[in-house]
Structure 1
Amino acid sequence: MASRKTKVLLGVIGIALIVTLAIAGKKENQNKTFLSIATASTGGTYYPIGVGLANVWSNALKDRNVQVTGQSSAGSIENIDLMKKNEAQLSILQSLMAVEAWEGVRNFEGRPYKDLRSISMLWPNVEHFVLMDNRLKKGDLGDIANTRYSVGPQASGTEQSTIIIMRGISLSKASISPEYLGYGDTVSAMRDGRLDGGALPAGVPASAVTDLYASGVKARLLNVTDEQLAAVNRVANSWFRFEIPAQTYPGQSEVVHTIAQPNILATTRFLDEQTAYTLTKAMFENLTAVHGVHSSAKYISLGNALKGVAVPLHIGAWRYYREAGIDIPDELTPPEARDIARNSVEGGSHHEQ
């Protein structure tokens, strides 16, 4: 048997080892960059793409000690609030909500958020308006009048964009019996007969819509007419024509003529330049992994990076795009970079003379 002195010595060594490992772990954590990306409810496209991007970044930047995690949320409006509170450093936003926040209009009336910055367009957010067959009339968006209809969770981008779309076709919450449900809950309520339909904007295919069709709910996707699209854009010019091919969803036999707006990857000016540069670079240099995250992620590319983006870029993303030879519209140049851009132009002009 070991002597008492030996046991004491081993105990001291054990304690010292634990303390050493704890200090080493603490030091490693101090050197690690932890970031969170805010998404939306789990039944849509924001969540799987946000979590997928977080995994791609964490794997690609492991040697740089960068770890990114995805978190669910109520959507775009809450995401902006989470970034303001630094409870998320990145988020996915509807372009419409990003512009409203930047300009201080509608939902952000008198409260412009000039610290907001863009990184990239990600994919088109396709409007999926679903309605039970027994409430169909013309098969277009106007059919939602006088129905029990979910406009999305309160304070979500879904709710706000749906309200604007409704306003464009002379409808309002008073025109329907509104519910405020997430995607999965909307489908469950329709299946149980407690709801006539709902707005489910997402990338194609949207898992909640797939579930709706696959589970035999007698409902279908509504079309948006050219006249309705034009009327909606007179309220907020953010949408474009989008067609969902037949058979995208189980039993969907016809093309759905709907509309879409861009989703963007956003941050704030407080994210340091090198981190934003590294994240942007890693996303575009690991496109095979990025495209494997979700079918909608296939839209992520350098060629699409600035399409529909209307809020100035983060200086780190701006620097990456300049290096990549991307033509950056002047309105997307971040305020922090204007002096750099001006000096660069002046230097080039002097050299040419």
Structure 2
Amino acid sequence: MKKIATATLVGMLSIPAFSAEFITIGTGGVTGTYYPTGGAICRQVNKMKKETKIRCSVESTGGSVYNINTIKNGELDFGIAQSDTVYQASQGIGKFEDKKVEKLKSVMAIYPELLALVTRKDANINSITDVKGKRINLGNPGSGNEATAMTLFEANDIKKSDLSFAGALKAAEMPDALRDNKIDGYFYMIGHPNANIKDATNSVDTKIVPLEGKAIDGLIAKYPYFAKAQIAEGLYKGVTSPVNTFGVKAVLITSDDVSEKAVYTVVKAILENFDSFKKLHPAYNNITKESLLDGLSAPLHEGAKKYFKEAGLL
């Protein structure tokens, strides 16, 4: 009896196990925009799981660089990353010098990410050059956030050693550190509005510092994935007029090794439920189906190409 029962149980368990394909999306810190974006994508994919047999889950990670490396190593199927970091990985430059990620592929560009320098008002930081001698968090090691901050420093002839403290806190730790006067400011490349900066601006008097000037104009001219942008007024407490800055795109990426069916399904799930997808986060307010193809800095995966062509967008 035991043998028959065990065999029946194994048979029952193995049918769905072998018929489903499981995919995982690497995101970022839970207070950022990548984590809810991964959740929003999985929600759309999982709505179709009965017909596609594809199930999607989300993993909180260290961000762009971590996601790319983990996809390269076959430990993640998909990830979200800044378009500048994707460009460096696909070209073998910057953080990926001599470590070109040959199989890296784009799925779609999701929304714009704009660099914010969030500071305590009493730190009197009014421009990028005022960070010298201050306690500034650059981002956790291996994040696109840190990479962009260092690119900005280089353009303005600022070194880490010019700071009195160069922080490497994770995104979730930054608002508390600002409130508790452990840092004077922090950089965050993120979709706006977001919970992290709202937390900071609601708990201490802050200033989001404009990032503008000749050095930044030169930076944008040098790197094709950067573009000028503004953080709109009214998104955060104390921001009463638009703040000039620059940004990139948050890109959904994958590997050549991920099946065409899985990538096709992810793109289809978002485009066929586009209006409901846009309502899942305020950062998606101004995206269009066409904008999903703007700012891609690695080649499109064949599965993505297939659906975009069917949708008349390629």
Report if TM-score (shorter chain) is over 0.5.
yes
Which of 144, 154, 159 matches 2:141? Answer: 154
Which of 321, 327, 336 matches 2:308? Answer: 321
User: Structure 2: which 5+ runs fail to align?
Assistant: none
User: Structure 1: which 5+ runs fail to align?
Assistant: 1-11, 328-353
1:52 aligns with 2:40: yes
Which has the larger displacement, 305-314 or 21-30?
21-30
1:306 aligns with 2:293: yes
1:206 aligns with 2:190: no
The corresponding residue for 2:263 is 276
1:19–1:101 CA distance, 2 compared to 1 (3 A): same
> Is residue 81–residue 253 contact of structure 2 (8 Å, CA) maintained in 1?
yes
> Is residue 213–residue 250 contact of structure 1 (8 Å, CA) maintained in 2?
yes
> Is residue 121–residue 300 contact of structure 1 (8 Å, CA) maintained in 2?
no
Which of 227, 230, 234 matches 1:243? Answer: 230
Which of 201, 207, 216 matches 1:229? Answer: 216
Task: Give the secondary-structure state (helix, strand or coil) at the position aligned to 1:127.
Answer: strand
Task: Give the secondary-structure state (helix, strand or coil) at the position aligned to 2:285.
Answer: helix
1:36 aligns with 2:17: no
Amino acid at match of 2:146: E
- Which structure shows the bigger proportion of residues in strand conformation? 2
State the Cα distance separating 1:172 from its structure 2 match: 2.2
State the Cα distance separating 1:16 from its structure 2 match: 4.0
State the Cα distance separating 1:236 from its structure 2 match: 3.1
Aligned length: 313
1:112 aligns with 2:85: no
% identical aligned pairs: 24
Which of 80, 85, 103 matches 1:92? Answer: 80
The corresponding residue for 1:339 is none
Task: Give the secondary-structure state (helix, strand or coil) at the position aligned to 2:80.
Answer: strand
Counterpart-to-counterpart distance in 2, 1:325 and 1:271: 24
The corresponding residue for 2:120 is 132
TM-score (normalised: structure 1):
0.84
Task: Give the secondary-structure state (helix, strand or coil) at the position aligned to 2:76.
Answer: coil
Counterpart-to-counterpart distance in 1, 2:8 and 2:110: 44
Amino acid at match of 1:260: G
Counterpart-to-counterpart distance in 2, 1:142 and 1:30: 58
Counterpart-to-counterpart distance in 1, 2:20 and 2:81: 26
Counterpart-to-counterpart distance in 2, 1:140 and 1:257: 11
> Is residue 90–residue 297 contact of structure 2 (8 Å, CA) maintained in 1?
no
Counterpart-to-counterpart distance in 2, 1:233 and 1:251: 28
1:314–1:135 CA distance, 2 compared to 1 (3 A): same
Which of 146, 160, 164 matches 1:173? Answer: 160
Give RMSD over aligned pairs.
1.7
The corresponding residue for 1:145 is 132
The corresponding residue for 1:189 is 177
Q: Of the two, which has the highest radius of gyration?
A: 1
Task: Give the secondary-structure state (helix, strand or coil) at the position aligned to 2:245.
Answer: strand
Counterpart-to-counterpart distance in 2, 1:60 and 1:121: 22
TM-score (normalised: structure 2):
0.94
